[in-house]
Amino acid sequence: MAKPRPIKKKDPKKDGKKDEKPKMPPCPYSAAELKEFKALLRTMKRRLSGDIEKLEDAGFRKQQDGGDLSSVPLHMADQGTDSFEQDITLGLMETEGDELQEIDEALDRIKEGTYGICELCHKSVPKGRLNAIPYTRLCVPCKTKEEGN
């Protein structure tokens, strides 16, 4: 009885295939346009940072003050309202914190030369979309698919 031959595994390097992500095309925007987008992103970042700071101050000041200056214990409804307001404030802070992260990543994409390129289809993101949402990663068709519409 003949021994079965071992199955040889193909070496991807020999086949010319690599396990790398497809290379992103070059940034479709000029240096002047990128400078404008960078300024827009930095302005948004400063505004959001200030908003988060104000939300932190407002949300936690009330907690430190106790919310009521009288010596009468708070009514349960007042405590519920305070808790609800604090939950809203924390939710806004989280959302704005996520947006700040997206802005930082967009600034990184400008440095890397991949800004303005859809991360899914690798086509150029229209300038109008970048003006509306300068930290976007996706073109409208890909974002629509991602959201399931």
Q: What is the pLDDT of residues 46-56, one digit of tens each?
A: 888 776 666 66
What string of pLDDT tens digits covers the 149 residues of the chain? 555 555 555 554 455 554 455 677 888 899 999 999 999 999 999 888 776 666 666 655 555 555 544 544 566 666 666 666 666 766 666 677 788 999 999 999 999 999 999 999 999 999 999 999 999 999 999 999 999 86
- Which structural domain range is residue 94 located in? 28-66+75-115
Where residue 118 falls (left for φ over 0; alpha for ψ -120 to 50; beta otherwise) is beta
Coil vs helix vs strand at 133: coil
List the structure tokens of 53. 């700071």
For tokens 């214990």, name the residue.
73
Residue 52: inside a domain, yes or no? yes
Residue 61: inside a domain, yes or no? yes
pLDDT for the residue numbered 6? 56
Whole-angstrom Cα distance, residue 105 to residue 136? Answer: 10
For tokens 């003949």, name the residue.
2
Residue 79: inside a domain, yes or no? yes
Residue 136: inside a domain, yes or no? no
Residue 107: inside a domain, yes or no? yes
Q: What is the pLDDT of residues 104-114, one digit of tens each?
A: 999 999 999 99
Residues with Cβ within 8 Å of 141's Cβ and at least 6 positions away in sequence, in order, are 121
Residue 13: inside a domain, yes or no? no
Whole-angstrom Cα distance, residue 46 to residue 70? Answer: 38
pLDDT for the residue numbered 5? 57
Whole-angstrom Cα distance, residue 122 to residue 148? Answer: 19
pLDDT for the residue numbered 113? 93
pLDDT for the residue numbered 49? 78
pLDDT for the residue numbered 148? 87
pLDDT for the residue numbered 71? 46
List the structure tokens of 68. 């009521």
Number of domains present in the structure of the chain: 1
